[in-house]
């Protein structure tokens, strides 16, 4: 059985555009990325008998990428934009909706240690007292000061790490 050219063109067109329309209708067709970090479950408190009395779902700082803007970090991690800008020495007149994490590299180009996405992940985790593996990232001195003033629950390991990983 042979199919003529016109019916074949119609079938192909319907399959292509019908597939797009169906996936759009089902909410599966996305042409933009959603920069939403993954979540972690943080135990709110533990009762004296060892049972968990509550848990909150919070965003995972390890999912912060270089393409994240500072306004998205402010939104998801509940850190004021002024605090982030101050911690990393960014001009307060900068627009947090435009300034991206990867733009930090240009600010610290003369530094012998890299300040970038790893530094922002570390800052966000320690500022919000979230679990994070200390991975060799460095922080500006001002960021370390802000963390120490804000988070009084730093472990000795975190304090020692911050003392040796400042720029």
For residues 46 and 65, give the distance between their C-alpha atoms in angstroms, rounded to a whole number.
32
What pLDDT sits at residue 16?
Answer: 92
What are the 10-residue block averages of pLDDT along the chain, 167 residues in total? Answer: 87 92 85 72 51 63 89 90 90 88 87 87 91 87 91 88 89
- Contact of 82 with 141, CB cutoff 8 Å: no
Q: Would you say 147 and 126 are in contact if contact means Cβ atoms under 8 Å apart?
A: yes
Could you state, in order of their start, the residue ranges of all structural domains in the chain?
A: 1-31, 61-164
Here the tokens at position 29 are: 């067709």
Tokens of 81: 């934009």
The per-residue pLDDT for range 108-150, each reduced to its tens digit, is: 888 788 888 899 999 999 998 888 888 888 999 999 999 999 8
pLDDT at 43: 52
pTM: 0.72
pLDDT for the residue 48: 47
Q: What is the pLDDT of residue 50?
A: 45
Q: How far apart are CA 133 and CA 154, in angstroms?
A: 13
């Amino acid at each position: 059985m042979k199919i003529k050219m016109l019916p074949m063109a119609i079938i192909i067109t319907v399959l292509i555009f019908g597939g797009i329309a169906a996936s759009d209708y089902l909410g599966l067709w996305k042409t933009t990325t959603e920069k939403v970090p993954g979540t972690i479950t943080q135990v709110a408190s533990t009762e004296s008998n060892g049972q968990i009395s509550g848990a909150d779902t919070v965003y995972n700082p390890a999912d912060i990428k270089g393409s994240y803007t500072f306004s998205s970090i402010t939104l998801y991690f509940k850190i004021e934009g002024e605090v982030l800008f101050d911690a990393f020495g960014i001009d307060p007149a900068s627009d947090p909706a435009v300034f991206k994490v990867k733009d930090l590299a240009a600010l610290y180009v003369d530094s012998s240690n890299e300040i970038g996405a790893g530094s922002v992940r570390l800052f966000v985790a320690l500022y919000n007292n979230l679990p994070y593996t200390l991975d060799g990232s460095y922080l500006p001195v001002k960021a370390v000061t802000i963390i120490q003033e804000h988070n009084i629950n730093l472990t000795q390991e975190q304090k020692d790490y911050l003392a040796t990983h400042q720029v």
